Amino acid sequence: MKIECTVNGQREIIEIEPGETLLEMLRNRLGLTGVKKGCEVGECGACTVLVEDEPVDSCLYLAARVDGKEILTIEGLSQGGKLSKLQQAFIDEGAVQCGFCTPGFILSAHALLKRHPQPTEEEIKQGLAGNLCRCTGYQNIIRAVQKASNE
C-alpha cells in the first residue's frame, strides 16, 4: 500500500507492507538509521520518533498510521547543519556514552520541552521514564535537559 507523509519536513510517498512498523519503514525504506532498535516490543524507547510532535515507540507503531502525518526523527532535528539546543546540551553535559539510546532520548526530551518549556526534575523524569539507558545512569541526561530548558 501507498502512504503519504512528511518526514523531517520532506514530503514522501512510500510503498509499504500492511504489517510494517514505522521503525522498519524509517530504517529500511528511508535509510534513517538514527532510529534505533533496542527491543522491538516497546520496552526501551530507543526507537522513539515524533509523530505530530508526540513521541511514539516506532517499533510498535504501524507505518500505515502515519499516512497524512508529520514525522520527526533525529536526522531532522539539526537545522541547516546547526545542532539544536538539546543536542548541544547533550554534548556539553556528557549525556552521551555509547549513543545507542541517545536519538530516542533527545526526541523524547524535545517533545517534553515543547509541552513544558521549563520542566521540573520530576517532570523530566516522568517524561523520559520510557527511555532506557544502561551507560549514563541518567544523571547527565537530566542535566542536559535542564540546561536546554534554561536557554
Partner 1 sequence: MKHQYVGKTVPRVDAVSKVTGKARFVADFQMPGMLYGKVLRSPVAHARIKRIDTGKAKALPGVKAVITWEDVPRIPYCTAGHPYPDSSRRDTYILDNKVRFMGDAVAAVAAETREIAEDALKLIEVEYEELPVLVSPEEALAEGAVEIHEGTKNICGQHQFAQGDVEAGFAASDYVLEEEFRTPIITHCSLETHVSLTYLDENDRLVVITSTQVPFNLRRIMSQALEMNMKQIRVIKPHVGGGFGGKAEVVQEPLNAVLTLKTGKPVLLEYTREEEMVAGRTRHSTVIKLKTGVTKEGRMLAQSMKIISNTGAYAGHGHAVVYSIGSHFAVHYPVPHFSFEGISVYTNIPVASAMRSYGASQLNFAMESHMDNLARKLNMDPLEFRRLNAIKEGEKDPMGYFVNNSYGLAECLAKGEELSNWKTKRETFAAAGANQKRKKGIGMACYCYETTAYCGAEEMSAAIIRMNEDGTAVLYLGSAEIGQGNDTVMAQIVAEEVGIGLEDIHVIGVDTDVCPYDIGAYASRQLYMCGMAVKKAAVKCREMIVDFAAQLFDTIPANLEVRQGWICDKLSGNRLITVKETVWKAHYNMDRPRTFVAEAYHGAKCNPLSYGAVFAEVEVDTGTGKVDIIKLWSIHDCGKVVNPQLAEGQVHGGVLMGMGFGLSEQLLIDPQTGRTYNNNLLDYKMATMMDIPELEVAFVETSEPSGAYGNKSLGEPPCISVAPAIRNAVLNATGVEFNEAPLTPERVLLKLKKAVNG
The single-letter code of the amino acid at 143 is: R
Binding-site partner at residue 7 among partner 1, ligand FES, none, CB < 5 to 8 Å by type: none
Pairing of strands 2-7, 70-72: parallel
Report DSSP state, residue 82. B
Of 4, 43, 52, 53, the one binding partner 1 (CB under 8 A) is 43
| Cα separation, 71 vs 83, whole angstroms | 18
Query: Which one, 3 or 102, has the nearer CB to partner 1?
Result: 102
Nearest to 51, CA basis, from 38, 62, 39: 62
Query: Which one, 65 or 130, has the nearer CB to partner 1?
Result: 130
Find the shortest distance in angstroms from Cβ 36 to ligand FES. 7
Tell me how crowded residue 76 is: count the other CB atoms within 10 A of its CB: 19
The single-letter code of the amino acid at 58 is: S
Binding-site partner at residue 59 among ligand FES, partner 1, none, CB < 5 to 8 Å by type: ligand FES
Of 12, 30, 37, 60, the one binding partner 1 (CB under 8 A) is 37
Residues that bind ligand FES (CB under 6 A): 37-40, 42-47, 57, 59, 97-101, 133-136
